[in-house]
């Protein structure tokens, strides 16, 4: 079985992460995992539910069915700048896309290229 593609959830708007899931699935990665730490765990759950329900214009580009699989809850120890250690909760949500991705019209393809560049820039800024 192949490795799942990870999408790390941060503090950006929901649509940025839904768009990242759509782009990954359009590129052929039908097995995704959302990874969130601490305060962003709720946002990861929202992204998973939006994708599962194919809710909104952006999510319409997802495969016919998106299934939420295993959900893993754990914790990590992070070292802060002042050398103190902090324990942070981590949630991993596995998602699988089943079926075909809807076909796009020419106008949608152009918009897709622009949005893909914006998402890549946002992800780089977050890292």
Residue 112 sits at φ, ψ, to 5 deg, of -60, -45
Give the single-character DSSP code of 99.
Answer: S
The end-to-end CA distance of the chain, in Å, is 28
Answer yes or no: pTM beyond 0.85.
no
Q: Which residues contact 14 (CB under 8 A, 6 or more apart)?
A: 43, 46, 47, 50
CATH number at residue 51: 3.30.110.20
Q: Which domain holds residue 84?
A: 5-126
The tens digit of pLDDT for each residue in 9-42 reads 999 999 999 999 999 988 888 899 999 999 999 9
The tens digit of pLDDT for each residue in 86-108 reads 999 999 999 999 887 777 654 45
CB 14 within 8 A of CB 43: yes
Give the single-character DSSP code of 85.
Answer: E
> Into how many domains does the chain fold?
1
């Amino acid at each position: 079985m192949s490795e799942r593609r990870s999408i790390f959830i941060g503090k950006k708007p929901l649509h940025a992460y839904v768009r990242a899931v759509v782009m990954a699935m359009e590129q052929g990665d039908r097995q995704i995992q959302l990874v969130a730490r601490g305060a962003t765990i709720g946002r990861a759950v929202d992204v998973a539910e939006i994708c599962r329900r194919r809710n909104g214009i952006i999510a319409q580009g997802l495969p016919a069915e998106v299934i939420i699989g295993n959900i893993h809850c754990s914790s990590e120890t992070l070292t802060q700048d002042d050398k103190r250690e902090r324990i942070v909760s981590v949630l991993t949500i596995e998602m699988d896309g089943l079926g075909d991705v809807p076909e796009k019209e020419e106008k949608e393809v152009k918009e897709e290229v622009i949005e893909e560049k914006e998402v890549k820039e946002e992800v780089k800024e977050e890292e």
